[in-house]
Structure 1
Amino acid sequence: MSQDHTLMGFVHRRRRGAELFLLLLALAVGIGAYAAVGLGMEGTIPADIVGYGGWLTALIVVAHVAIRIFAPYADPVLLPLVAALNGLGLAVIHRLDLDNTSQCVDNGDFARQQLIWMTLGVVLFVATLGLLRDHRLLQRLTYTTGLAAIVLLLLPMVPIVGNTVNGAKIWISVGPFSFQPGEVAKVLLVIAFAGYLVLHRDALALAGRRVLFIDLPRGRDLGPILGMWAVSMFILVFQRDLGSSLLFFGIFLIMLYVATERPGWLVVGTVLFAVGAFAGWRAFGHVQNRVNIWLDPMAYYDQNPGSGQLVEGLFGMGWGGLIGRGFGGGAPCRIPYAESDFIVPAIGEELGLTAVMAIIVCYGLIVERALRIALISRDGFGKLMAVGLGSIFALQVFVVVGGVTGLIPLTGLTTPFLSYGGSSLVANWVVIALLLRISDQARRPVPRLSADDSDTGSDSESTQVVKLR
């Protein structure tokens, strides 16, 4: 028994040592990129490098200490990945702020604002780990979180607080502050989906009619997926937000398939998606415009709304090539909203395809760690919740990168941790905190009864072991 504890302690120390090394690399990426921006744009290291680096380091150290205190057995790779992406995003946004060319009519102090939002995100990250000691408590709030998510999705439709930005009604404004409630709604929907599917997956897994070697679900069980499809169509029609519509329906479909292990649900979901996409294309002008721009971007370059943003992004990435032009060597400000929707082409122009591929690998690692957490989780709710949270990053990155590269039509989603946007950044930090909480619960060693305890038949200890298992 003592040998087992010694081995586990050794493995635990090695894991934490590796995490510290990865955190140092992540900080080197963020602070080094910030210094490189100053050298490339102004020919000197930024004067505030000490203050900026100290602030960024303090935030990451606080997050790391919170993990050590509240979730000591959590996955050691997630925080370094997030720190590297967030640090690089801050540096790129700062580079866009410094550009004073004629194309940068909207440049401002976005980097400082993003750092403030990151601070709030880390605060909520620590609060989530500190207050939520067991993720299974969220299962009690299945229907509450679902109702809260629906309310948040409907808030932008309220005339007093709702706000339309670039044609999409997905914002609410309270005084000088604007917020995108859909970013919080996606987290609440994952919790609601996980709780619902844990309770009803046995019924949803029952097979219906068999067609071409695939067992389709029963007609009476189609209610949940039809309801979620209706919600996604509502977002597409009334809020004109194609990205969120795809994201919410895709998350539910993935979680439904994982819960039931029935390929028939993928068939039904694909058919519903195809019907919705075709109907949206036929009925709504903004969807037709997105598809037309996707099919022939050069033909709509000078129109409004047109393809200028997409074309400039493609030109920038093509000019950047494999290794990029270097910070200050490109012209990413030619791309409208380069700091938010199109930060990936801005990175591709000045850091090259190599950096873009490294970023995609980082996102892939985040999704892989989420799926690994789902595999080792000891409860069904934690498994589904980890899959849903990982799906948020997988779908969002696919939609964003696919849109800016011309693989799929453009949608209005931000790149997690990279793009400028407070609501997105804060929500994603909470998502990582929830993944770490599930990971800590899954990796925590289960206490075992000693020989003396088994001889005396300690009921309290036996009950405790059963509950933990």
Structure 2
Amino acid sequence: MATIVSYTARPRRLMHAVLLAFAVLIGVGSYALVGLGRFDELPPNLLEYGIGAALLAVVLQVAVMWRAPYTDPVILPLVVLLNLLGMALIKSVHAANQIYGLRSSATAERQMLWAVLGVGLCVAVIVLLRDHRHLRRYTWISAVAGGVLLLLPLLPGIGDSRNGSRIWISIAGNSFQPAELAKIAFALFFAGYLVSRRDTLALAGPKVLGIHLPRWSDFGPILVAWGFAMAVLVFQTDLGTSLMFFGLFVVMLYVATDRLSWLVIGAVMFLPPAVFAATQMSHVRTRITCWLDPLSGANYGGCEQINQGLFGLANGGITGAGLGEGRPDVVPHAESDFIFTSFAEELGMVGAFALLLLYLLLVQRAIRAAVGISDGFGTLLAGGLGFAMALQVFVVVGGVTRVIPLTGLTLPFLAAGGSSLVCNWIIAGILVRLSDAARRPAARQVDGPGAAPAARTSPEVMA
């Protein structure tokens, strides 16, 4: 006879608090070093900045202890550290622009205000979302909301074009990038849609060149996702955002069905529109040219941003010029699109690899939550959000270092920008909830004499 017993897991509250404290200490210390490097004195608002960062960390700790005690103790400290490092770099760029008489709209203080809003929304997600499976009820609402958000910049009057891409909306002097919020909505839709149709989509259709193609009746969802991605590419001339959305859907298809053919089909479908954009759209064609040969005499003037970014990377060397000692003022958009260049110049190749390691660890924790969670919806949602973050980091860093053509995406939590920071904090809150569900102990079935083996046992508590 089978009996049900329970076991006690370790919530890891103390580890979470210690890691948060270390993140705040490193972030505030970086902010202080920027002031010493630029002006040979501590920033005058260092005390207020440190108290504000500490209060945000305390709020996060209390929310986790109250509503998600079994969450992965590494996720939020990583996010806090990335956010504070970003504010230190934004402070460095702003101070350099002031010294050399250049205008800069982004400041660390403004980014701190956006961080406060982001942390508030993250806490709201942790506190109010008691069970992530409730989000599955809004599958089709998320699809409609994501589509509307994605196409909002095309509306006359509120759509705003910047640097050749129409991905912003501007209302009453305030700008917002709705694609960041659409990313969350589409991840929810893809997870809810695919978990209910994964068996149908996994059925093999005809075999062509050794690849099992899906049945024609199952090809509808990928065509819709492809259509939205192409609308962003053609009408908003934004290759990076279209790649992120279409790639997110295709990878979640692969996770849901475990069929490699979906990845091949996705790559084949995205390639022709990308070639069309590279040859027919002047904005995209310029970025392709700067990717291939930015230092030639004919292209040098039009590729100033990527060239100055490369010089900044070279100036950083192995260990960097030091916080507050670089020249980010010579790189256009050094606090947003090219903040990785600013980071690598001041902290060197060692710092750049450490930054990438932080992102890698954050993505790994998201995937770990996806593996440990018990329901298919949570697995797809955690995996999709983790992949979206990984793809965004790859596209940004790859563009700055000329691995791939430059895009208009920004590094999560690091780059200046309210819409990106706030929406990524919401993602952090969802990952905390998913991680808590993956690690939370449950009743475990123990086989007695003559009993059938248990169908499922609770996952072990992960460090």
**TM norm structure 2:** 0.92
In the other structure, the counterpart of 1:117 is 114
Say which SS state the counterpart of residue 416 (structure 1) adopts.
coil
Q: Which amino acid aligns with 2:129?
A: L
Alignment partner of 1:34 is 2:38: no
In the other structure, the counterpart of 1:151 is 148
Q: Contact between 2:152 and 2:178, CA under 8 Å: does it hold in 1?
A: yes
Alignment partner of 1:420 is 2:427: no
Q: Which amino acid aligns with 2:204?
A: A
In 2, distance between residues paired with 1:244 and 1:109? 23
Q: Which runs of 5+ in 1 are unaligned?
A: 455-464
Shift of the 422–50 alpha-carbon distance from structure 1 to 2, 3 Å rule, reads same
**How far off is 1:164 after superposition?**
1.4
Say which SS state the counterpart of residue 99 (structure 1) adopts.
helix
- Stretch moving more, 312-321 or 97-106: 97-106
Q: 1:283 aligns with which of 263, 280, 284?
A: 280
Say which SS state the counterpart of residue 325 (structure 1) adopts.
coil
In the other structure, the counterpart of 1:391 is 387
Q: Contact between 2:294 and 2:300, CA under 8 Å: does it hold in 1?
A: no
**How far off is 1:353 after superposition?**
0.7
In the other structure, the counterpart of 1:292 is 289
In the other structure, the counterpart of 2:221 is 224
Q: Contact between 2:56 and 2:116, CA under 8 Å: does it hold in 1?
A: yes
**How far off is 1:301 after superposition?**
4.8
Q: Contact between 1:179 and 1:423, CA under 8 Å: does it hold in 2?
A: yes
Shift of the 104–252 alpha-carbon distance from structure 1 to 2, 3 Å rule, reads farther
**How far off is 1:99 after superposition?**
1.5
4+ long deviations beyond 3 Å: 100-104, 300-303, 447-450
Shift of the 255–329 alpha-carbon distance from structure 1 to 2, 3 Å rule, reads same
- Stretch moving more, 284-293 or 29-38: 284-293
Q: Which runs of 5+ in 2 are unaligned?
A: 449-456, 459-463
Say which SS state the counterpart of residue 422 (structure 2) adopts.
helix
**How far off is 1:230 after superposition?**
1.4
Say which SS state the counterpart of residue 297 (structure 1) adopts.
coil
**How far off is 1:167 after superposition?**
1.9
Q: Contact between 1:153 and 1:182, CA under 8 Å: does it hold in 2?
A: yes
Kindly tell me the number of residue pairs found equivalent between the two proteins.
Answer: 447
Q: Which amino acid aligns with 1:43?
A: D
Q: Contact between 1:104 and 1:334, CA under 8 Å: does it hold in 2?
A: no
In the other structure, the counterpart of 1:240 is 237
In the other structure, the counterpart of 1:326 is 322
User: Which deviations, in whole Å up to 9, do the C-alpha atoms of 1:330-374 show, x marking residues without a partner?
Assistant: 211100000000000011111101111011001001110011100
In 2, distance between residues paired with 1:369 and 1:448? 24
In 1, distance between residues paired with 2:423 and 2:98? 33
In 1, distance between residues paired with 2:100 and 2:45? 26
Q: Contact between 1:170 and 1:180, CA under 8 Å: does it hold in 2?
A: yes
Shift of the 151–346 alpha-carbon distance from structure 1 to 2, 3 Å rule, reads same
Q: Contact between 1:36 and 1:327, CA under 8 Å: does it hold in 2?
A: yes
Shift of the 434–104 alpha-carbon distance from structure 1 to 2, 3 Å rule, reads farther
**How far off is 1:4 after superposition?**
6.7
Q: Contact between 1:207 and 1:217, CA under 8 Å: does it hold in 2?
A: yes
Q: Contact between 2:325 and 2:346, CA under 8 Å: does it hold in 1?
A: yes
**How far off is 1:283 after superposition?**
2.3
In 1, distance between residues paired with 2:101 and 2:215? 56
**TM norm structure 1:** 0.91
Shift of the 38–135 alpha-carbon distance from structure 1 to 2, 3 Å rule, reads same
In 1, distance between residues paired with 2:281 and 2:56? 45
In 2, distance between residues paired with 1:430 and 1:113? 19
In 2, distance between residues paired with 1:109 and 1:150? 29
In 2, distance between residues paired with 1:110 and 1:192? 35
In the other structure, the counterpart of 1:19 is 16
- The structure that is helix-richer by fraction is 1
Root mean square deviation of aligned Cα = 2.2
Q: Which amino acid aligns with 1:233?
A: M
In 2, distance between residues paired with 1:424 and 1:408? 22
In the other structure, the counterpart of 2:204 is 207
In 1, distance between residues paired with 2:326 and 2:31? 16
Alignment partner of 1:443 is 2:433: no
**How far off is 1:47 after superposition?**
2.1
Q: Contact between 1:99 and 1:107, CA under 8 Å: does it hold in 2?
A: no
Q: Contact between 1:172 and 1:181, CA under 8 Å: does it hold in 2?
A: yes
In 2, distance between residues paired with 1:165 and 1:215? 42
Structure with more contact order per residue of length (Cα contacts < 8 Å, sep ≥ 6):
2
Alignment partner of 1:347 is 2:343: yes
**How far off is 1:18 after superposition?**
2.0
